[in-house]
Every structure is written in structure tokens, then in C-alpha cells.
Amino acid sequence: MRRRLGTLSLARSPRWMSPRMSFYPFFKGLIVGFLIAAPVGPVGILCIRKALADGRLAAFIAGLGAAVADTFYGAVAALGIGLVSNFLMVHKVALSLGGGIFLVVLGWHTLRKPAVLIPEGTTHVGLLRDFLSTFMITLTNPATVLAFMAVFASFSVVSLDGDAVRAGELILGVFAGSTLWWAILSAAAGAVRSHFTPLWLVWLNRLSGWALILFGIGVLGSLVVPDQGAEGLFSLDAAPWVA
């Protein structure tokens, strides 16, 4: 099915809602952002591991990196920014290659991590590194913009008609929805942290490390699979769970 990277717009709100006062676009964005973020993939694995090893704050900051990248792609899809969309599609092979390599390296690094449970609230958890890691994983998946376009279409988001206020509400909703998911996941995983021991962390590092490596190998392998090119795991159908 052909998909245009053109300008999208929202179905009109009910007449009793003021276009500038209504939160209708915000709630649509909230649902879309949550749905795009929720399926568990590399970022979800990292977030769970961070919650169990480093605490809920580290996990939430890691999820926030993915939320910011999701918001960027949501804005590209909602506003129909042709130049950015075309750049992403033209360079999708290079982006997928970089993303696959990054996942493999990150998985290997996770395998070699020492089994040390860092106390909650410590200042040595590398929050900026956690944020940038998930931000890069999500940003190097150009098919995310296509996933947003597909979900927007299913929610009757068809054209913004140059309405900056409604566009802003929609994009803010995407960020809020994605952030909400990562807050829930971080809190849920962090709730069982007190029962974790260093031995369990050894196995957690092994499982999450190999899972990230396999994700990366899958992405790299998809670049050479006949008739799939750069799509593979980063195709439209797979994009939602890459987060």
C-alpha cells in the first residue's frame, strides 16, 4: 500500500470544543505515543535491566531518551516535514547499519558489566549515557516515522492544515504517552529490585546482553536478506516493537 509523506491533519473536534482550548489532539497523541512505545524491544530490555541494576531513576532516564526520539519522529510524521522524511528514507540503510552495530556493541558491553547493584539515588549511574544510548537506538530506526504515520491514520489524523496549536498538542501528547509508558515500566521493574542478588544480576546481564546482540544481528542481517533490503526488522510492521 502506498503511503505519502505529506502533511497530516487531525479530524475536527466536536463543535462545542474550542480549537485552541481542546485537548482532543493531545489525547490522540497520548494514545499513539503510548502504543508506539509499549511493545518490548531493545530499549525495553535496557530499561528493565537499568531498573533492576541501577534503580528506577536510571531506568526512567533511559526511557526518556527513547521518548524524545519518538517525539521527533512523531513530529516528522504529523507535520509532514518532507526534507527530513526524504533524508531518513534515502539514508535508511546507513542508519540501520549504524543502529545494528550500536546494539551489538551495547550488548557486548552489557555482558561484561560487573554484577554490582548500585544504590538508589547514586550520582554514579551515568544518567546522560543512559539517555543517549536509548535515544540513539530509537533515532537510528527511520521506519519509526512510518509507524507513526500508520497509527496516526488509524486514529483519523489526516491533515494539520497549518494549525500550529493543534499540531503542538498532538506532539506534546506523543511525548506524554511515551514518557508515561517508560514511567510505568521503570516503576514496575524497580518494585522487585529489593529481591535481586548479585547472582541474579549476573544472569540478567547475560540475558539482556545476548538479547541486545541478537537484536543487532537481526537488524544487520535484514540488510542483506533478498527482497527486503533495509526493511527487515526495521520495517513498518516491526517498527512498533523496536522500542
Domain containing 170 equals 24-242
Does residue 12 lie in a domain region?
no
Does residue 9 lie in a domain region?
no
Q: What's the pTM?
A: 0.67
Does residue 31 lie in a domain region?
yes
From first to last of its 243 residues, what are the pLDDT tens digits of the chain?
A: 444 444 444 444 444 344 444 568 888 889 888 988 887 678 888 888 888 888 888 899 999 999 999 998 888 877 776 556 666 667 777 777 877 787 788 778 777 766 555 555 554 557 888 899 899 888 887 677 777 877 777 666 655 556 677 788 888 999 999 999 999 999 988 888 777 666 666 777 777 778 778 877 887 887 777 444 434 433 433 444 445
Does residue 10 lie in a domain region?
no
Does residue 8 lie in a domain region?
no
- In the structure, how many helices (H) and strands (E) does the chain have? 10, 0
CB 69 within 8 Å of CB 182 = no
What's the domain count of the chain? 1
Using CB atoms within 10 Å of the CB of residue 118, give its burial: 0 to 12 exposed, 13 to 18 middle, 19+ buried. Answer: middle
Using the Cα atoms of residue 4, residue 168, residue 138 and residue 198 in order, give the sign of their dihedral.
negative
pLDDT in the model for residue 207: 78
Secondary structure of residue 39 in the 3-state scheme: coil
Does residue 19 lie in a domain region?
no
pLDDT digits (tens, 9 = 90+) for 154-169: 666 655 556 677 788 8
Does residue 17 lie in a domain region?
no
